């Protein structure tokens, strides 16, 4: 891969308020690790929500080059974007069919729907596409404990009997979702596995898939035939209370728009957060419209319980705290301890990256890395690193 679609470049770097750098080499390394952990199963890749906010086109192209042949998205329009970067891949769409008209999207992109309900089954039987001699290829989502989407065990058994007679559908993959895989000792994991195995036995010709990123670390029988790593590919720790084995992929930086002095006793931002010393502020041109959540606002703002002091940035070798409330387009950092001449307008403060792990930032915002990454806005200038070079 030697080029990036200009649409993926984001904002013009001359005027952008921040920078998002996506390390595709780290992404590929994370996929390689998850593929090795998945052996003997095949590792697919979950690239929904524009590859967790990092750009489906470049991400999918890098994964295809590494050998990934199966991808999962949430919606058919996402599937069409993946198809453009992966012409020969199997692309599964989690959220199923909303109407008969939706079937045309699947036909156009040779997308494989994940059928979640009786309605999905009926629509696909009537309007699905045929792959040569294979009638209406699909995946079946079976319910094992999440009680979200999915066919009930009873409906799954009926379908297995009916389809054995009619051959109206070709289930290529049976899947379910683990509710508590990020807590390895949770008894729900084993309960779901046993329920899933019983339902998979009804479709002996189909592959099976149960493990998400955290499920892969459960190993053994949980791996089934196909694993579905998602957030781990993008650098987040998939298992609670463990050291993160994944490489950071996204680096988010905010540009300093102004440096200003506030005397002790002054106040900053909405709600008038007081400052208790003479303070040097770095006013950066990134805010919650860019995915830097308001709940990460500085100490004294009653928006979260997990990390009372709020979020921090990293610049000039030091962590610097957010001060006051994060606003739509601007965030304030207390850079007093760096000295009066350390920074200047136009410098960048790291919000997420090697020095500010995405899981730590998410905790400071009272959320999870999934939400933080998928919230990244389109106002960043975007850079992609591949083969050690910025492309």
Q: Which residues are part of the catalytic machinery? A: 48, 270
Separation of alpha carbons 381 and 379, rounded Å: 7
The residue whose two tokens read 């780290």 is 26
325 annotated ligand binder:
no
CA distances to 139, 175, 187, 372 from 124, in Å = 11, 17, 35, 35
DSSP characters for 222-255? Answer: GG-SEE---GGGGT---STTS---SPP-EEEEEE
Nearest Cα residue to 93 out of 106, 74, 119? 74
With beta carbons less than 8 A apart as the criterion, state whether 20 and 383 touch. yes
What DSSP character marks residue 102?
G
With H, G, I as helix, E, B as strand and everything else as coil, classify residue 378. coil
Whether the Cβ atoms of residue 226 and residue 212 lie closer than 8 Å to each other: no
Q: Is 328 annotated as a binding residue?
A: yes
Q: Which two tokens stand for residue 269?
A: 């931002």
- Residue 145: other Cβ atoms inside 10 A: 17
Enclosing H/E stretch for 34: helix 24-38
Give phi and psi for 170, each to the nearest 5. Answer: -120, 90
Q: In this structure, what token pair is assigned to residue 121?
A: 């089954």
By CB neighbour count within 10 A (0-12 exposed, 13-18 middle, 19+ buried), where does 227 fall?
buried
Phi, psi angles (nearest 5°) of residue 80: -65, -35
- Known binding positions for substrate: 148, 328
User: Binding site: which residues?
Assistant: 148, 328
């Amino acid at each position: 891969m030697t080029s990036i679609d200009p649409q993926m470049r984001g904002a013009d770097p001359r005027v952008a308020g921040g920078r998002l750098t996506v390390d595709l080499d780290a992404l590929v390394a994370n996929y390689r690790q998850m593929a090795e952990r998945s052996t003997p199963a095949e590792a697919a890749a979950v690239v929904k929500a524009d590859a967790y906010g990092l750009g489906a086109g470049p991400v999918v192209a890098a994964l295809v080059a590494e050998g990934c042949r199966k991808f999962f998205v949430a919606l058919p329009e996402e599937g069409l974007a993946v198809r453009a970067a992966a012409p020969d891949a199997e692309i599964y769409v989690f959220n199923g069919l909303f109407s008969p008209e939706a079937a045309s999207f699947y036909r156009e992109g040779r997308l494989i729907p994940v059928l979640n309900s009786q309605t999905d089954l009926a629509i696909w039987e009537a309007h699905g596409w045929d792959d040569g001699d294979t009638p209406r290829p699909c995946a079946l989502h079976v319910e094992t404990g999440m009680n979200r989407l999915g066919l009930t065990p009873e409906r799954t058994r009926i379908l297995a009997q009916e389809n054995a007679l009619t051959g109206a559908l070709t289930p290529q993959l049976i899947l379910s979702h683990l509710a508590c895989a990020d807590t390895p000792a949770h008894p729900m994991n084993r309960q779901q596995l046993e329920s899933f195995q019983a339902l998979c036995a009804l479709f002996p010709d189909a592959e099976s898939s149960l493990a998400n990123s955290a499920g892969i670390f459960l190993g053994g029988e949980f791996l089934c035939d196909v694993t579905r790593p998602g957030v781990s590919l993008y650098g987040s720790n998939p298992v609670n209370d463990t050291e993160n084995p994944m490489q950071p992929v996204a680096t988010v930086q905010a540009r300093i728009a102004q440096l200003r002095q506030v005397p002790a006793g002054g106040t900053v931002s909405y709600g008038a957060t007081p400052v208790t010393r003479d303070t040097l502020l770095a006013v950066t041109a990134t805010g919650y419209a860019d995915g830097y959540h308001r709940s990460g606002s500085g100490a004294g703002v009653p928006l979260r319980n997990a990390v009372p002091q709020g979020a921090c940035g990293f610049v000039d070798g030091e962590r610097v705290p957010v001060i006051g409330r994060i606003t739509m387009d601007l965030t304030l950092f207390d850079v007093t301890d760096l000295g009066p001449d350390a920074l200047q307008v136009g410098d960048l403060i790291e919000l997420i990256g090697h020095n500010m792990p995405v899981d730590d930032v998410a905790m400071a915002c009272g959320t999870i890395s999934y939400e933080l990454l998928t919230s990244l806005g389109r106002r960043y200038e975007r850079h992609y690193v591949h083969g050690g070079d910025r492309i």
